Structure 1
């Protein structure tokens, strides 16, 4: 057949970690690959794509339209993100190629392959040329910057498709993939990270209290409509690191950072907090609270309200009236709960101590919903570490979580833990998805719900 030169949209896909998957569970890996190919064939027929090659865990295909190529890539990725998750990355470029039978050659093919290699599981990355073709077709994109790609002359600007459910690679992930010429990805003004409060007390054992209050405040902020909040894991990674606030903001991709300190002396507490605009280093708001320790709930309420008001003034975000700032008035129960959360986050052999601390909080206040949720989450973690049998996890953890939800039906994280149990202990994918969707309905900004779903 005579070679044909044509302008074509080229798509590469690749299953992330497929080789390791094959080594661990060959049957499961083959099932994943077959699922990928079935969806791939069906969606290419729908969006008029031509499949040229299957190679191991990857594919190569072409389209006459950049719009249809992107629509196909988005649909494919959204299917792969459903249960059971299939970690897929997709790269698309449009350019001049030479096609001969089922073979395509040209610089455009190489560039599409390089863009796919930049992607992370759950993402669809495209070139500047593709972005130009689709920009008037209602498909949202986000620039990730310009990269020097292997065997490609000059920098290439890469965009991520920014649609619901798709993953946007972080700045750190992109820096690991290739040399960045500039960073033009948009950081939205209504975004914030909460750093762990610095412990200014003489007792280093008070770290649990400082981290716990920061985490509680982060959870409150996720309830503010239209406000993007950096996850606890990402924000707390900067604990103890003396880094410039602007660099922290850039790495976390947020416009604003909340930081502060706590000093506990006897029965008194001094909490200092400030909200900083990382683009200029200016303080948008700061406050100092010097109270009795038993007033911690009033401090939380005042702090949350002050930040919410300031964010409303700055971002136009409205705090939801339904937010519960705390669910106990017993300070000793709350203190025990914070200690339990601190230990649980370490995910080590001491996790059983967290269970005892949550139970202590319940003994002090039987109606403390968060403590019951902590029991369920700890049992889930103990099952993960093989400390208790899966059947015990399902029965005991679900009982604790159901009790928590009876006390407070708005606990999104309780539904996330129930979903995790349904997935890995009950093997009930349908029920797990229902729990995840309920969690996201209650709190669309829940980072743990998005991460685990």
Structure 2
């Protein structure tokens, strides 16, 4: 394994293999990085896309951009690339800072530093935020969800209002949701500018939010905003509708809302991303083994309630790439990163691992394990427990037992299971890959007929066949195989994470929504960090019409697996749409269209949202793009697949398209 460079404080990830995932992150095939940086980002007049100076015209206000030249959503290349994304931005400053400094400079600075250390920074950390920069009396913070940003602002202001404040430190806070440009450690753009203007409009000790923030949030946090009407502000070319909140006007904040029944409670604490361990065996065929150990460690760490663990998809997005681990921490929103390597030779295996503090790149813990292959399960347990110990996270007896439970003692069966699991996570899965995965799964359960997780994973493979028809068998036959396997999995491991998550996914498509939710409750009692579990829950809740719950759980899925936000964003937008929050839905759907160039369903829902908003010309342009992608698209057929419990929800989608004259009335 190649370790950190220089003084040992930076944690540079030094890999020799090319960036296999670069095209998925929007990297230009003709390598225009220098031109991107020289030109610099400029915001389009329509306020919905970024372009590169005057060299490239915007796809929405002029001619079509070359997709390779669009600013990528996520850089993955440290400070060598510019990237954009949709973020919630919190801007804060101190009221009367110049006066306070003039009266007592040293006392004011001391009080400010204490406030940042004891109140501001802990609130940001608890709510999954990232402090972008501190500017004298001000601060700029980025969040992946509106609810996190608003909750953070409320906690800060309520804490300040409830304590002695002899130095007179009083904050104004503005919160906005919008596009931002990321370059190096900084963010800028229209989304940031609006947040800064909102902060200036806030009452001392309160917060001011944009319309899209208020609409997106709804009543999920129990906050009542006062409508401030339309306001014109400096350097923003449109009037802003603003909303105000102040702790003096609010009833006491409710305690944390209860999560899904059975879901494990979690105190705010450390968060970690486990990067794929380097395969140092010199044999590419052993890649599955190093990946499998990484995935097992992720699974084990997710059983610890004092840790938030980023999903495998997001961690593995860094596979084979040279990147500063501090940047990984910022991009994934984690406090720590685990990296290492695996070398396998015959029946011997060497695992090296080091835990890095993502805030400064320093080493927290490192070790090397030289063992016989038969001890691999014990080594994985040791790595997990050493990480827990290094972070001083408490571990309950039940959590310790869950970590020790690997589901099998058969090394060969587990290797087959790891090979099968590798195919499940492979984005380019096809019929040939599916057949190989099924063969590995069947061999795993033949080697260990009591291996519950292998049955559950194999059941998911047949669910994929139900959707993709890779075996050539009728859909009903594929679903029956999936059902039989997952029930056997539950018999063998009624509390297994994989068994219950597999059953939830299968039951959802069988129309057994309540049973699916019960299975998710059981899985989350052991691991609350399964992003796809939160996504499945949100998807089911949309069908049931529980839209506020769906939004909360889909936002949690995005926090745990930010690299999959392009998939989760569609359903998050749908939940907002069905609540009637068309402006918020349109914002998320534009992000979806930007991230997934060929999405037909994203464009269809966006066209409907624009129809409701009266933006008819753009709705028609988006609808035409959708028809070019999929000329046979049938919106009514797509709505039927969602099995929406409330018929009016499907009608709402059709009404937006009718308003734009894109479809005829039924």
Superposed CA deviations along residues 110-159 of structure 1, whole A, max 9, x for unmatched, are xxxxxxxx998985865998887777899xx9989986437849555698
Quote the offset at 1:275 in angstroms.
0.9
State yes or no: 1:326 paired with 2:406. yes
Which residue of 471, 479, 501 corresponds with 1:416? 501
1:448 alignment partner in structure 2: 532
CA contact (8 A) 1:192 1:230 kept: yes
1:360 alignment partner in structure 2: 443
SS of match in other structure, 2:494:
coil
Q: TM-score, normalised by structure 1?
A: 0.60
Quote the offset at 1:449 in angstroms.
1.3
Quote the offset at 1:405 in angstroms.
2.0
Measured in 1, the distance between the counterparts of 2:195 and 2:374 equals 64
Which residue of 149, 160, 163 corresponds with 2:190? 149
SS of match in other structure, 1:322:
helix
2:275 alignment partner in structure 1: 195
CA contact (8 A) 1:264 1:270 kept: yes
State yes or no: 1:217 paired with 2:302. no
1:248 alignment partner in structure 2: 328
CA contact (8 A) 2:455 2:489 kept: yes
1:300/1:126 CA distance change after superposition, 3 Å: closer
Measured in 1, the distance between the counterparts of 2:475 and 2:458 equals 15
Which residue of 309, 314, 332 corresponds with 1:234? 314
Measured in 1, the distance between the counterparts of 2:478 and 2:290 equals 30
1:137/1:368 CA distance change after superposition, 3 Å: farther
1:405 alignment partner in structure 2: 490
CA contact (8 A) 1:340 1:354 kept: yes
Quote the offset at 1:238 in angstroms.
0.7
CA contact (8 A) 1:330 1:365 kept: yes
1:135/1:386 CA distance change after superposition, 3 Å: farther
SS of match in other structure, 1:379:
helix
1:255/1:152 CA distance change after superposition, 3 Å: closer
CA contact (8 A) 1:272 1:289 kept: yes
2:377 alignment partner in structure 1: 297
Measured in 1, the distance between the counterparts of 2:306 and 2:327 equals 24
SS of match in other structure, 1:285:
strand
Quote the offset at 1:245 in angstroms.
0.5
Measured in 2, the distance between the counterparts of 1:372 and 1:410 equals 14
2:459 alignment partner in structure 1: 376
Superposed CA deviations along residues 388-435 of structure 1, whole A, max 9, x for unmatched, are 4442343221221221222222212322222222222x1232332222
1:413/1:269 CA distance change after superposition, 3 Å: same
2:518 alignment partner in structure 1: 434
1:286/1:129 CA distance change after superposition, 3 Å: closer
1:289/1:332 CA distance change after superposition, 3 Å: same
CA contact (8 A) 2:494 2:500 kept: no
State yes or no: 1:259 paired with 2:343. no
Measured in 2, the distance between the counterparts of 1:394 and 1:231 equals 27
1:91/1:403 CA distance change after superposition, 3 Å: same
CA contact (8 A) 2:388 2:394 kept: no
1:385 alignment partner in structure 2: 468
Quote the offset at 1:370 in angstroms.
1.6
CA contact (8 A) 2:421 2:457 kept: yes
Quote the offset at 1:384 in angstroms.
2.2
Quote the offset at 1:165 in angstroms.
8.9
1:108 alignment partner in structure 2: none
Quote the offset at 1:334 in angstroms.
1.1
Cα root mean square deviation, aligned: 3.9
SS of match in other structure, 1:346:
coil
1:307 alignment partner in structure 2: 387
Superposed CA deviations along residues 225-252 of structure 1, whole A, max 9, x for unmatched, are 2211111111111111101010001111
Measured in 2, the distance between the counterparts of 1:446 and 1:129 equals 27
Q: TM-score, normalised by structure 2?
A: 0.42
SS of match in other structure, 2:406:
coil
1:338/1:90 CA distance change after superposition, 3 Å: closer
Which residue of 352, 356, 368 corresponds with 1:288? 368
**Structure 1, unpaired ranges of 5+:** 1-88, 93-117, 167-187
Measured in 2, the distance between the counterparts of 1:205 and 1:142 equals 52
Q: How does 1:40-55 map to 2 (within 5 A)?
A: none
Quote the offset at 1:254 in angstroms.
0.6
Q: How does 1:29-40 map to 2 (within 5 A)?
A: none
Q: How does 1:47-86 map to 2 (within 5 A)?
A: none
1:206/1:165 CA distance change after superposition, 3 Å: farther
**Structure 2, unpaired ranges of 5+:** 1-86, 91-141, 163-172, 177-185, 200-207, 222-267, 538-666
CA contact (8 A) 1:220 1:325 kept: no
1:191/1:123 CA distance change after superposition, 3 Å: same
Quote the offset at 1:219 in angstroms.
0.4
Q: Greater share of strand residues, 1 or 2? A: 1
Measured in 2, the distance between the counterparts of 1:142 and 1:191 equals 27
CA contact (8 A) 1:146 1:156 kept: no
Measured in 1, the distance between the counterparts of 2:440 and 2:461 equals 11
Superposed CA deviations along residues 255-283 of structure 1, whole A, max 9, x for unmatched, are 11111101112221111011111122222
1:193/1:90 CA distance change after superposition, 3 Å: closer
